[in-house]
Chain A
């Protein structure tokens, strides 16, 4: 009978908490959105699955060895842990906070104690440390994105870089929005957290994950989920804003054909960008450096094998671990908070403001430019490659069936990637460097 009872006490059903149940349901919801609705399936399938696995009771896959010990150990072991941390033995939560606030020497001592007591880091926790906490996965993905990006349309019409800049307005308005919520006492975000939330408006998954892993790792789960779900919703979010801000005539504007761009220009461009980053904003160097490197491999024509790996095998491998690691941040005690709702709400504001700013900037450019610019391509400035460019094309075709804006919209689209990486660098600089 005792054996039977201990089996029951160790079972999932016995230990399942309300929060874990909710998070598992959310995990299934993400899987449904990815599989049935085709919402960024490459990311949401691993994230959703990781979220489910992270919330399996007793397994503690998303926790470090010390966190597991604090949650599961006997009283004698807890007392030992508390004495190492110099904190009172009251609740597991307090021990864990004490652990996170402790100097690294004390943390190391606690880790050794946990290892001696037979606790190991959970699988997802390990993935998170290797892939995201180190910053590796978003950067490798950025390299792959660089290797997939064709700067031809941008080089043919460099003015479109301004559209990519304007669309970053969404990022900074959202930061203000998050801080406003805080000053009204509705939520409680620090400047670093507000900056990490704002980056959702960059509509660029790896950038968002990179920034939040540096500025606000505790919000990473919510930020990544918001960023990827809204990217999937771009075809629904953007068109009404685009139509509201443009007139029928503006939507019908046909743009002149882009000039041919030589291979040499395409090889030199990533190097020019790299030098500019090095001179002006070293904080954006990890992101844009990897991006330029990937693009150089693509365009130089002599390392096709490397370029092929970067844009296929490698980016796919890393995406798997990135997704699972983000899923590890969907544990109930970190995700089920009022802040998450705030993040989801602010994220959509960020997208809308970014789209509007891009369209308005395009209208402005059209007024001063010698060649006509269709304001619809402005909305593509919010990265989300290539979805946002397709949306511009589609809305353009509705107004004028012979007007193909896709290639024109690819210019602001890749400019948006550069713009949000620059914005990310500025935020990191501002928040950490002061």
Chain B
């Protein structure tokens, strides 16, 4: 393959690839927003009554109740650990 062909191939891949990634994620944004709207509309007052018996009273979300968010807790835990390691070293 000549070098011009090769660069052309690369540009093609870039246009095709970035284009597709954007199309895909745009679709995902649209579908997700649509889905959220439907769920919120069909689930008005007490969102957790159907959720099972040992569900917490508030919805499990990252933003509303940070204390029960495992991701956030994990991150905070890691941050503390790293901080301690750094403190110990310096």
Contacts and interface: CB of A to CB of B under 8 A. Distances in A.
B47 A264 contact: yes
A169 B18 contact: yes
B7 A183 contact: yes
Interface in A147-184: 148-150, 152-153, 155-156, 158-159, 161-162, 164-165, 168-169, 171-173, 175-176, 178-180, 182-184
Interface in A377-434: 386, 389-390, 406-407, 410, 415, 418-419, 422-423, 426-427, 430
Contact of B7 (A159, A168, A176, A418): A176
B29 interface: yes
A259 B47 CA distance: 14
12 contacts: A158-B28, A165-B26, A176-B7, A179-B9, A260-B58, A260-B61, A263-B51, A268-B35, A301-B52, A386-B75, A407-B63, A407-B66
Contacts of B31: 272, 276
A263 B60 contact: yes
A38 interface: yes
B72 interface: yes
A86 to B, nearest CB: 29
A419 to B, nearest CB: 6
A280 interface: yes
Nearest to A168: B21
B25 A419 contact: yes
A257 interface: yes
Interface string B44-81: 00011001100100111111101001111011001100
Interface in B1-41: 3-4, 6-7, 9-11, 13-14, 16-18, 20-29, 31-33, 35-36, 39-40
Given A159-B29, A161-B28, A427 B6 contact: no
A390 B79 contact: yes
Interface residues of B, number: 53
A386 B71 contact: yes
Contacts of A306: none
A218 interface: no
Contacts of A301: 51-52, 55
B3 A260 contact: no
A265 B33 CA distance: 10
A410 B24 contact: no
Contacts of B70: 150
Contacts of A168: 17-18, 21
Contacts of B22: 162, 165
A158 B30 CA distance: 8
B6 A191 contact: yes
B43 interface: yes
Contacts of B79: 390
Contacts of B13: 172, 175, 191, 195, 427, 430
A169 B19 CA distance: 10
A38 to B, nearest CB: 7
B33 A152 contact: no
B6 A281 contact: no
B29 A262 contact: no
B16 A426 contact: yes
A49 interface: no
Contacts of B3: 182-184
A195 B59 CA distance: 42
A46 B59 CA distance: 40
A430 B15 CA distance: 12
Given A165-B18, A418-B28, 16 more contacts: A38-B85, A152-B69, A156-B61, A158-B28, A172-B13, A179-B6, A180-B7, A182-B6, A194-B10, A260-B61, A261-B59, A262-B40, A263-B60, A301-B52, A422-B25, A426-B17
Contacts of A281: 20, 24
B29 to A, nearest CB: 5
B63 A257 contact: yes
Contact of B61 (A38, A158, A261, A422): A261
B54 to A, nearest CB: 9
Contact of B25 (A38, A153, A161, A268): A161
Contact of A263 (B28, B59, B64, B82): B59
A406 B48 CA distance: 26
A390 B43 CA distance: 34
